[in-house]
Structure 1
């Protein structure tokens, strides 16, 4: 039997939006009520979760999104955006080029940290002391890689975003907005990493936002998706700024500096 019109309609069945002549609804809510009635952050929650957030949930999501918008041209995504903007392409292409660099290494730590903290929190929920759960999970993750997602920073001794973000989570726990399992797990991991070290390894912005997204009930892959939404703001701002500076074909280093030549090696220098 050939496909029917209904078969085609069902192929694209969605609960996210309804768009028909003279009708636009987002999760069943008329767009004319949403415009001016909900913040952008609340709409993000609505589309991802199906229901609008409470004011306290909206506030906590907002601080996480704000914290990750930019980290300067040292961040590969920002550098790529600025380079791409000088190559004769549009802003959308520059933004897309930059977003496409956000992978497991750059941009994925939040998702990875959220998965790690979820393991700690789940074990703690069974009655295991959170410190012991954290120690076991950290050992397992360290067996895979010497890098622990969400902790430490190559620039900051203490990430300046750590304290305000965790303070907002603590307030949300105190008023009953979130349960606090991810926060307790994150602090326990941080304490383990500080043991026996002259210089601690504090939680960074990826870890803090992982705590927030976990406390708010988002699935781990959305930690990366939400980071992409957040970082896109900085990407756009840098790409736009670069278009006004008059450079063409901007490379990663000034033309006066030439890369180190490694004759016959083909291997990069150790860093």
Structure 2
């Protein structure tokens, strides 16, 4: 046996994928130290998500608020690119898992990333207000002036489809109730509401929070990191993607494209032309 082979002993191999998330042995499944059989029937799925991501079981009010945010973002119809792509994939002979993966893989910075971006924005503003003792209104005004000067949209506010996102009020109301009960600090909520108020100032139509902004407030108040905000959105939206993929697959239609067969995309290229063959 070479020295290299000798160095790769059992401990080195075992430590290669060391984890504090789960312990799996023959006859044993423990999640963050809890035997899975003790969780089944006693701990909700949202609470299990919290346990797996955070290492401890949440309080009842924390699990309930997390569940509300997960429910709110489940679906937004086949006009959402991620869902449309999953439905098309389901008609192309791929497995249901591949159809769902097709939809999930479209959830990037532009479609699906605004919640994470809003969480980061709220976190940065909160840090500025606390660390530099800057009033919330002043910090928000400075940020909006910079964004307007750069021609940028504020992530998590406004909606291309809804004048007022119907998911905004129940989620923000739930956070406000938790803050009033003293169970959440409310710092991120305060900043989000100030952003909403200043975005609406002087406008005929307000720019209320959308689902991304509302869930960003929930996840930020619950202490999740911004990147996990996108992960939680993906978990939530995967339910809708699965439902749509299954419905489309069950229809029996094959190879369904983005527009109905009688319609063709508008052609904007050169007019009809033929190659010069060089013959007289």
Taking structure 1 as the reference length, the TM-score comes to 0.95
Q: Answer yes or no: is 1:243 the counterpart of 2:264.
A: no
From the superposition, tell whether residues 108 and 144 of structure 1 become closer, same or farther in structure 2 (CA, over 3 Å). Answer: farther
Q: Deviations over 1:34-64 (max 9, x none)?
A: 1111000000000000000000000110111
Match of 1:269 in 2: none
Which SS does the other structure have where 2:29 is aligned? strand
| Unmatched segments (≥5 aa) in structure 1 | 266-271
Q: 1:140 aligns with which of 128, 132, 146?
A: 146
Q: Deviations over 1:76-101 (max 9, x none)?
A: 01101100000001110000010000
From the superposition, tell whether residues 191 and 261 of structure 1 become closer, same or farther in structure 2 (CA, over 3 Å). Answer: same
Which SS does the other structure have where 1:19 is aligned? strand
Taking structure 2 as the reference length, the TM-score comes to 0.92
Mapping of residues 121-270 of structure 1, within 5 Å: 121-126=126-131, 127-264=133-270
Q: Deviations over 1:166-204 (max 9, x none)?
A: 000001111122100110000111111111110111110
Q: 2:40 aligns with which of 8, 29, 35?
A: 35
Which structure is larger by alpha-carbon Rg, 1 or 2?
A: 2
Q: Answer yes or no: is 1:101 the counterpart of 2:113.
A: no
| Alpha-carbon distance in structure 1 between the residues aligned to 2:62 and 2:163 | 30
Q: Deviations over 1:201-249 (max 9, x none)?
A: 1110000000011000000000100000000000000000111112100
| Alpha-carbon distance in structure 1 between the residues aligned to 2:9 and 2:196 | 57
Match of 1:110 in 2: 115
| Alpha-carbon distance in structure 1 between the residues aligned to 2:130 and 2:177 | 21
Which SS does the other structure have where 2:141 is aligned? helix
Of 44-53 and 137-146, deviating more is: 137-146
Mapping of residues 84-95 of structure 1, within 5 Å: 84-95=89-100
| Alpha-carbon distance in structure 2 between the residues aligned to 1:250 and 1:209 | 33
Displacement of 1:143? 4.8
Which SS does the other structure have where 1:24 is aligned? strand
Which SS does the other structure have where 2:23 is aligned? strand
| Alpha-carbon distance in structure 1 between the residues aligned to 2:190 and 2:213 | 12
Match of 1:65 in 2: 70
Displacement of 1:13? 0.5
Match of 1:53 in 2: 58
